[in-house]
Structure 1
Amino acid sequence: MEASTFSTRPFPVRDQARVWAEWFQPTFDMHPETEEQEGFAAEYSVWNVGDIFMTLATGPATRAIRTPAHVRRSPIDHWVLSYCRQCPMTISTNGKDVSADAGVPFLWSLGYALDGRSISAPRLQVYMPRDSFKDVTTILDMAVASTLDTQRGQLLADYLMLLKRSLPHLSSEDAARLPAAIQAMLGVCLAPTPDAMAAASRQIQLTFMERVRQVVRRNLRSPSLGPDRLCREAGMSRSQLYRVLEQAGGVANYIKRCRLAESFVLLSDVSNSQAIQEIAEILCFSDASTFSRVFRREFGVSPGDVRSAAHFGIAVAPAPASKLLPKGLSFSNFLGG
């Protein structure tokens, strides 16, 4: 799925801030907080996913104002879920002043006047029309102008980042299921009843799996990588960790296969001059012999075969068994049904 993107970069520097402001009329008055002569290089990408819109804004610091007159002229009342991983954001709306720290999502509504500020960092937002979220109308209205600074809010933030990375690969069939998936995650975040947890169980498992993947990826070369470290860094209990990786053959097997996948990349890189024994050592295999044996079992070829083929410009495809995710665990399967 491709995004529709608006950019100020093709315009003359002196006109960029004004063009950015015009783009948001009549929904907002935008006031770039830079001098005109400095320019305002910014982009706004929009993914139309089912009945919702996901947007990514990148650009300099900006102040956004939506007055009662804007609300009358542009009478849309979508809820908006905002998230900035790197920087804080502030907003005044519905009689409240809200300050969200970096990495904390917050909820607001276009049905109210607002005055908000964001600084220079990518900002992800999900625009949710009321007609598509009827089952959670009450809890969303109660949560307007609030930050989601809880463990469940962080789970929602991680899910949003996973959505952002997955959007380019999203099929039309998956897109149609996305509103229900987001609604399920919002239910868990805002009203975590047993029914809500059950409805979002697949999305939660996928998000936990993504957390595990990232922790493992960061620590592939660390001998201390194991269940304790994974639980600590991924914010999971041991039972959750074992449940997530059960179909992957368990924690140790998943870590081993990720290390093997990394070794395949290193051996296929002709610019990498490390010896096979050294690659085995930095990826925490006990010795080169053990590494070679499990490598051949995983990929159907030896480490030396992969390195030789790379030097001759021959691409060696890993065997089909080298998939790292448990069977049935994919973004498509966890969108909501």
Structure 2
Amino acid sequence: MSLPVVTSYHFDTDDHPEQTRFEMWREVMAATHEVAPAGTTLDPFHIQVAVWRLGQMVVTSGQLTSQSFARSGENIRRDHIDHFGLFVQGSGTRHCQVGSHTELLRENDIQIVDFAQPENSVATAGNTGTLYLPRDLVEEIIPHFSRFHGRVMRDSMAALFARHILAMGTSLPYLPATALPNLTQATMEMAFACLQSLESGSWEMNSAVVLAMRRRVERYIESQLESPDISPATVAYACDMSRTTLYRLFEPHGGVMTYVKRRRLHRIRAILIANEDLRSLADISEDYAFQSGAHFSREFRKEFGSSPGEVRGDRLPQINATALPEADLGVILRSLHS
């Protein structure tokens, strides 16, 4: 078994003069969030953060003093980070707001965070951990997972997994490289066992056969995204199933054609970020069967909150994090293959 790619990043305010510590931390967090002090001016400001990439996952561990965090639409448009985070509260508490909904996170609570949606929080001093997973990896198992943005998990399985994530932060620096593949696989399996409890009663989540059927359809759709002839009838025929079965498989996505449209949009977005296809937006969208440039732009903005031109114009340079001795969280997340 090949070893997973491991990339480490460490930040400690003790490595910087006291008067510059918060500004240094603000610069580190600028990759994903805006931060501000939340305690009194008498509170010493201290941060310790470590980040590891394990295969398709990123794990973080942190010791934080009181502060507020905000991920705005501007952050989302600028950084192109398209992942889900499972945020674990260790010691201390965190008040979180997603839209009009608020939650108070306590020890061993796990909150689901969709990085493509805004969120705000205010934390007391304490320790935390986060597991980041690429969107496509999660939504292959749990369709339209973004609807759980802000959800807090507090059941016994969540508490067990929360302790596992927090323990990784203290154990990873001392594990031999040979232990990492098994740890990565076990963590991924625990994550999905925990997340599947969100939909434990759904038809598709309770059948390995149905899951295999949906994956077969998804692979076929991926191979046909540039075909203008794709339809429920052609997909059902190619995958040897009835249209009724196909509908049930993709009902959580809003139907198979809604799923196709979203996959086309995500494929085009990846093309624009990579910046290797220099053709016009109209030519690229036409390749993916959008009726017109206006229709494509409208659907793109609805899906991502920004125009295709903004994504192409504001792209960040693509960086190979594995080639760097140190890489911040934003660089490491963007290096994942979703």
With normalisation by structure 2, the TM-score equals: 0.52
The answer for unaligned runs of 5 or more in structure 2 is 1-5, 209-338
Do 1:2 and 1:47's aligned partners in 2 also have CA atoms closer than 8 Å?
A: yes
Q: Where do residues 88-99 of structure 1 align in structure 2 (5 Å cutoff)? A: 88-99=93-104
The residue number in structure 1 matching 2:155 is: 150
The residue number in structure 2 matching 1:312 is: none
For the pair 1:45 / 2:50, whether they are aligned, the reply is yes
Q: CA deviation at 1:61?
A: 0.3
Q: Where do residues 165-314 of structure 1 align in structure 2 (5 Å cutoff)? A: 165-172=170-177, 174-176=179-181, 178-192=183-197
Deviation string 1:237-264 (CA, Å, 9 cap, x unpaired) is: xxxxxxxxxxxxxxxxxxxxxxxxxxxx
Among all aligned residue pairs of Structure 1 and Structure 2, give the percentage whose two residues are the same amino acid.
18
Equivalent-residue separation in structure 2 for 1:169 and 1:197 (angstroms): 38
The residue number in structure 1 matching 2:20 is: 15
Deviation string 1:292-335 (CA, Å, 9 cap, x unpaired) is: xxxxxxxxxxxxxxxxxxxxxxxxxxxxxxxxxxxxxxxxxxxx
CA spacing shift, 1:37–1:167, aligned 2, 3 Å = same
The residue number in structure 1 matching 2:110 is: 105
38, 48, 60: which is aligned to 2:65? Answer: 60
Equivalent-residue separation in structure 2 for 1:182 and 1:134 (angstroms): 17
For the pair 1:27 / 2:19, whether they are aligned, the reply is no
RMSD: 3.0
Q: Which has the larger radius of gyration?
A: 1
Do 1:83 and 1:106's aligned partners in 2 also have CA atoms closer than 8 Å?
A: yes
Amino acid at match of 1:104: D
Do 2:67 and 2:123's aligned partners in 1 also have CA atoms closer than 8 Å?
A: yes
Equivalent-residue separation in structure 1 for 2:136 and 2:176 (angstroms): 23
Equivalent-residue separation in structure 2 for 1:162 and 1:39 (angstroms): 26
Do 2:38 and 2:66's aligned partners in 1 also have CA atoms closer than 8 Å?
A: yes
The answer for unaligned runs of 5 or more in structure 1 is 200-337
Aligned to 2:30, what secondary structure does the other structure show? coil
Equivalent-residue separation in structure 1 for 2:142 and 2:16 (angstroms): 41
CA spacing shift, 1:181–1:138, aligned 2, 3 Å = farther
The residue number in structure 1 matching 2:125 is: 120
Do 1:17 and 1:40's aligned partners in 2 also have CA atoms closer than 8 Å?
A: yes
The residue number in structure 1 matching 2:138 is: 133
Deviation string 1:99-146 (CA, Å, 9 cap, x unpaired) is: 222221211121111111111011111121224434334274343211
Equivalent-residue separation in structure 2 for 1:173 and 1:149 (angstroms): 33
Do 1:14 and 1:37's aligned partners in 2 also have CA atoms closer than 8 Å?
A: no
Equivalent-residue separation in structure 1 for 2:66 and 2:150 (angstroms): 21
The residue number in structure 2 matching 1:325 is: none
Q: CA deviation at 1:198?
A: 11
CA spacing shift, 1:197–1:173, aligned 2, 3 Å = farther
Q: CA deviation at 1:152?
A: 1.8
Q: CA deviation at 1:197?
A: 9.9
Q: CA deviation at 1:34?
A: 3.9
Do 2:61 and 2:166's aligned partners in 1 also have CA atoms closer than 8 Å?
A: no
Equivalent-residue separation in structure 1 for 2:164 and 2:14 (angstroms): 31
The residue number in structure 2 matching 1:259 is: none
Aligned to 2:129, what secondary structure does the other structure show? strand
Amino acid at match of 2:88: Y
Q: CA deviation at 1:190?
A: 3.0
Q: CA deviation at 1:172?
A: 4.2
The residue number in structure 2 matching 1:78 is: 83
With normalisation by structure 1, the TM-score equals: 0.52
Aligned to 1:40, what secondary structure does the other structure show? coil
Deviation string 1:41-86 (CA, Å, 9 cap, x unpaired) is: 2111111211221111212101011111111111212111111222
The residue number in structure 1 matching 2:252 is: none
Aligned to 1:152, what secondary structure does the other structure show? helix
CA spacing shift, 1:169–1:9, aligned 2, 3 Å = closer
CA spacing shift, 1:18–1:94, aligned 2, 3 Å = same
Q: CA deviation at 1:24?
A: 0.9
CA spacing shift, 1:73–1:139, aligned 2, 3 Å = closer
Aligned to 1:138, what secondary structure does the other structure show? coil
CA spacing shift, 1:38–1:166, aligned 2, 3 Å = closer
Deviation string 1:164-218 (CA, Å, 9 cap, x unpaired) is: 343224444543455543332233223245998999xxxxxxxxxxxxxxxxxxx
CA spacing shift, 1:191–1:34, aligned 2, 3 Å = closer
